Amino acid sequence: MSDLLSRRLALLGDTAHLPLLTQCLHGIERETLRVTERGELARSDHPVALGSALTHGQITTDYSEALLEFITSAEQDPAATLVELERIHRFAASQLDGEYLWSPSMPGLLPEEADIPIARYGSSNIGRLKYVYRRGLALRYGKTMQCIAGIHYNFSLPEALWPLLQGLDGEAGSVRDYQSAAYISLIRNFRRYSWLLMYLFGASPALDASFLRGRPHQLQRLDADTLYLPWATSLRMSDLGYQSSAQSGLTPCYNDLASYIDSLRAAVATPYPAYAELGTHDADGQWQQLNTNIIQIENEYYSSIRPKRVTQLGERPIQALSSRGVQYVEVRCLDINPYLPLGIDLDQARFLDVFILYCALRGSPLLADGECHACTDNFLKTVKEGRRPGLHLQRRGEQIELRAWAGELLDAFAAIAELLDRAYGGEDYRRALRLQRAKVEDVELTPSARILAELRERGESFRAFALRQSQAHAETFRSQPLSAAEAQEFQRLARESRAAQAELERSASDDFDAFVAAYQASILDRGI
């Protein structure tokens, strides 16, 4: 264990400071496609009973009208976060007529590209902007890729912790700048070790053959409708999933917040020739992308983790980071586990807490001498062949077996799990750690291995497996309905969100072209 990590753990283990570990904040955003009883993408509009996707705080849509996104509030106890996420699922499931929430990350049978419905948000300027942004995503990457779903895990350390760590480290300057630098340091370590999350929780080793739309590939055929790679953990996070040639040169290595912000600002302001050739308007004069730059807005940048700050009304993410610093991190590389009704469970959440805290508390030198590239290579190798026997990764310029490195990391996590158990009482965090250690010792316990084994044993296609799991989860939700008071609360939120959207549409004044121009100009202000 490093000297810095030991000193920080000793500080947190002090009786006066130990309760701080129970004040970390957790939030989850879970995406899931609405599908028909046959497992096909739903073509129906976003259900009115769920409220307005534009203004509802907990139930919205991501890319497609059929791609729901459930958002929890930030809670100190991850158990409370999961309880809230379950309530949202139970309400949504009760409002779907003949439809299901798709259980895995990769979609099933999709219609033709042109028939995949883009999410709509009404006639207000902000609603139209969200729609045009999605038209731009379709133009740049195709609609099929945008139908992949995932889980985002949001995590922050307590504000009261930063002055303590700053004092321990003997760092001068403002607490805000120290906090931001510490989160960026966390992200560098996350880049170093996130391959482990893909091994432990990757759950997309196979996909529906129709997903590739006839594109060339190197996948193997499991059956007439299913393609896979024998050692894959997460095809979702491979080059078959989220990818962008325009973004290939946009790889912030997170050596400081300023350079990260500058790289995103440049990407939002720099034209990309292929997009410029397409233009912002189609042949009918309708908006088809917000601009012709490398990315239209900051959220278009694909990354496995992001530094975040809650934005104020009308504020862009980069503006928030630049003016008030980093507040939390958003982990974005997690597959949905099709065996779990929520796609994630409390054991996984607790392990993520341990993992992220390790990344935050361990020393994190700058990524230099090719390490940034090695981090990317380790991640991509793990998503495509992470379960291959004897697989080696790169560490500090040398080869190391994945299983050996994973074992060393889990050993290093033990002290953090023990501290969390002291803070909360019990041994839930050590149990979560033991469950992951078992997956390193026996690869067949990983979700990706379980899925492939089940497909083979049952002679079942990926599509049939995913639909069966979706139906089982729907039965779980509907067999445990919300209380009358809980249901009424969700109904109230839905009504209020619809009213809020209607008010936005009534009060709109600026024309849309001017609105887009002002939105684009806001990112170019070097003073932010």
* 8-state DSSP, 370: T
Angle at 397 between CA 392 and CA 402, to 5 degrees: 20
Per-residue pLDDT tens for 12-58? 999 999 999 999 999 999 999 999 999 999 999 999 999 999 999 99
Q: 436, exposed or middle or buried, with CB in 10 Å at 0-12, 13-18, 19+?
A: buried
Task: Round to whole Å and give the CA distance between 42 and 63.
Answer: 14
State residue 170 phi and psi, 5-degree precision.
Answer: 70, 30
Which of helix, strand or coil describes residue 305?
A: strand
How confident is residue 215, by pLDDT bands cut at 50, 70 and 90? confident
Average the pLDDT over 366-384 and give the result.
92
- Please say whether the beta carbons of 111 and 265 come within 8 A: no
Reference 294, options 250, 355, 347, 239; nearest CA is 250
pTM: 0.96
Domains of the chain: 3-522 (3.30.590.20)
The span from the CA of 338 to the CA of 327, in Å, is 31
Question: pLDDT of 183-206, one tens digit each?
Answer: 999 999 999 999 999 999 999 999
Residue 521, pLDDT score: 86
Q: Which ranges in 302-397 belong to alpha helices (H)?
A: 317-324, 346-361, 371-385
- 338 contacts 469 by C-beta, under 8 angstroms: yes
Reduced to 3 states (helix: H, G, I; strand: E, B; else coil), residue 29 is strand
pLDDT of residue 244: 66
Q: What is the pLDDT of residues 278-335, one digit of tens each?
A: 999 999 999 999 999 999 999 999 889 999 999 887 788 999 999 999 999 999 999 9
Residue 102's φ and ψ, nearest 5 degrees, are: -65, 135
**For 51-80, what is each residue's pLDDT tens digit?**
999 999 999 999 999 999 999 999 999 999
Residue 421 pLDDT > 90, yes or no?
A: yes
**What's the CA angle centered on 411, arms 406 and 417, to 5 degrees?**
115
